[in-house]
A = this chain, B = another copy of it.
């Protein structure tokens, strides 16, 4: 089976939302596409262009979407699969390559992934420097992995004293997962550990809640929320009337030197 020559499938990271965080590479790929494929809210973010086909789909059909995009590219179309954030981080790049692994890559089709700013980076920039040291990113979705694996990773993250960024913290189908995750972490980490719920950062409905692991109400998290949970070194301080969340580059033993040098 040989496809029409020149088809492209480009997996495009749109970033968290605002144009100021959209890379020129991603903007160019969206503009050059004959077909946009993606979850409806991400397709809706792209300006409409005459002659450009828009294939918006529902959530949780990533593999169908990837196969649809591959069929279009095999027919010689220039396809942009648009994804929020970074398509390589809990997003469409993996789904596209899973489809290619199973079905094969249609002859003549070129595939590229264009990185984007991910939600944890937008949240970190707003909050201060919470990812200034070693961290983990964990998806709480258990659609495609057993919950026991999520628990194993949360436990390992606590044992390693990592900062933890939680993606997909809640869904209508499984609203209890974030509560279970917090219950587990409360047994392993100090109640004073800083926690931030950063919702839709960069978009009009941005909302940030800062609290502690002990006091947090995990129910404030929805699917647009990135949850950050500190390491033992993460702390809040006030600067210019604003709370800053900092995970310093140094661990406690080194902080004496820092103060001395000032």
Residues of A that sit less than 8 Å from B by CB: 15, 19-25, 28, 62-63, 86-90, 93-98, 100-105, 109-118, 121-122, 124-126, 128-139, 144-146, 149, 152-153, 155-157, 159-162, 237, 239-240, 244, 246-251, 253-254, 258-259, 261-262
Residues of chain B contacted by A112 (CB below 8 angstroms): 125
Least CB distance from A256 to B in Å reads: 12
7 contacts between A and B (CB under 8 A): A20-B24, A90-B249, A94-B249, A97-B132, A98-B258, A100-B239, A118-B121
Does the CB pair B249–A98 fall under 8 Å?
Answer: yes
Q: Is the interface of A mostly helix, strand, loop or mixed?
A: mixed
Q: How far is the CA of A95 from the CA of B128 in the complex (A)?
A: 11
Q: How far is the CA of A115 from the CA of B138 in the complex (A)?
A: 20
Partner of A102, one of B22, B136, B240, B259: B259
Least CB distance from A17 to B in Å reads: 12
Does the CB pair B103–A113 fall under 8 Å?
Answer: no
Residues of chain B contacted by A249 (CB below 8 angstroms): 62, 90, 94-95, 98, 144-145
